[in-house]
Structure 1
Amino acid sequence: MEEEDDLIPLSALQHWLVCPRQCALIHLEQIWRDNERTAEGNVLHQAVDRQGGESRHGVRRITGLPLRSRRLGLSGRADVVEFRPAPDGNGEVPFPIEHKRGREKRDDRDKVQLCAQALCLEEALGVPVPEGALFYAETRRRQRVLFDPALRARVEQAATAIRAMLVQCQTPPPVPNPSCERCSLADLCLPDALAKPSVADYFVRKLEEP
């Protein structure tokens, strides 16, 4: 059984999908620095990080709900979980909602993190969690997310990869990508200075030499 300190934070899944090196710097080397984007995200989550609850129109709404999956080795908190009456009238169906700054992403990083919350809920409650939603502050709209087999597999793949990285205690080399410009760790990561040149770059430089 995993010890509590050995569980991977749910946020690490998103960090890994953005950049494995960023994930290692944060969760292996314990390096963190805020910028404008991360500060805005912190403010956004203040309202839902505190655990609390209320009921409206037959739906229970809990904020800051602690989550854990021993099977996947994950832990964290759900911003919001709505417990809705089951269609057959027998029990409740959890519906996790993750709050994000900005707007919908082109990739599935946010969906993977949300799906991981659903897997934690399923393990804890023993009931299916078929869908949830992402709420984006910029658009003020919910994006419905279905937790299909492909998305569930992405969660398991990311969790396995992060676990392997932590066990090996090896930070991946930098691979510059568009996310580097918005990363709060860019000056600590040094992607341009540390990235190894490719063979193609070597031959290009040789051809350009006088």
Structure 2
Amino acid sequence: MEYAEDDYLMISGIQHFKFCRRQWALIHIEQQWEENAHTVTGELMHKKVHDPSLKEKRKDMIIARALPVASRKLGISGECDLVEFHKSEEGIQLHGHRGLYTIYPVEYKKGKPKLSEEDKLQLAAQTMCLEEMFCTEIPEGAIFYGETRRRETVAITEDLRDEVVRMFQEMHEYYRRQYTPKVRYSKACNACSLKEICLPKLGKTVSVKAYIEQSLKEENQ
């Protein structure tokens, strides 16, 4: 099966979906978004790495920034923060360049490595797009974390690839149905930029009145 371009979903949405399916639906289906310190810092970091004036060629390596990518098989599109093309006898041909090159995607994140796999899934999705576009195989990439100032190598395993496929299939189904999941409150809700829109604690109260009374009580403590 292949998707039409009008049905493409954003690659970056897989991070929202892995964190919270409701958050993803609020942003990508209901078009709601709020900034917080975390999102602003992340946007500034990506703006720097996505500067189209920063193009480089270093000896046997070509660096492309903000490279548009897409996959008809997955029905997704987006941009890779940075893609390195390394000259190699085991690589592929690039239009306008002599020799053969292997492909190495690098995703930029503002914080530090996570125990969960949101960042790895996004990188894997980008890698799968690059593989489809360039008809090649890419075994690994890297995530650069702003807090540690270092790259973390990520093997693009079959498990990661399978989860990417499953998650985007589920996302396409939600989008087709225009379905927003119900609230499921957890501690992670406190760090969510949409908590004032989502009102996660409301899902745990008996009524709106009880929620308001509890909020007033917390403010007065």
TM-score, L = length of structure 2: 0.85
Post-superposition offset of 1:87: 5.2
- State the distance in 2 between where 1:64 and 1:88 align: 25
Could you say if the C-alpha distance between residues 185 and 62 of structure 1 is closer, same or farther in structure 2, counting changes exceeding 3 Å? same
1:35 aligns with 2:36: yes
- State the distance in 1 between where 2:181 and 2:73 align: 25
Q: Which amino acid aligns with 1:76?
A: G
Equivalent of 2:87, from 79, 85, 88?
Answer: 85
Q: Which amino acid aligns with 2:74?
A: L
1:116 aligns with 2:125: yes
Structure 1 consecutive aligned stretches of length 4 or more whose deviation exceeds 6 Å: none
1:187 aligns with 2:188: no
How many correspondences in the alignment?
197
What is residue 4 of structure 1 aligned with on the other side? 5
Over aligned residue pairs, what C-alpha RMSD do you find?
1.6
| Structure 2 counterpart SS, 1:46 | helix
1:63 aligns with 2:65: yes
Post-superposition offset of 1:2: 3.2
Equivalent of 2:106, from 97, 104, 107?
Answer: 97
Contact 1:136 1:142 in 2 (8 A): yes
1:73 aligns with 2:82: no
1:125 aligns with 2:118: no
- State the distance in 1 between where 2:14 and 2:173 align: 13
What is residue 156 of structure 1 aligned with on the other side? 165
Could you say if the C-alpha distance between residues 58 and 189 of structure 1 is closer, same or farther in structure 2, counting changes exceeding 3 Å? same
Equivalent of 2:55, from 53, 56, 64?
Answer: 53
- State the distance in 1 between where 2:86 and 2:203 align: 50
The Cα offsets for residues 27-76 of structure 1, whole Å up to 9 and x where unpaired, read as 00000111000000000001122345311131110000001001000100
Q: Identity over aligned residues, as a percent?
A: 38
What is residue 15 of structure 1 aligned with on the other side? 16
| Structure 2 counterpart SS, 1:86 | strand
Q: Which amino acid aligns with 1:53?
A: K
- State the distance in 2 between where 1:178 and 1:106 align: 15
Unaligned runs of 5+ residues in structure 1 are: 198-210
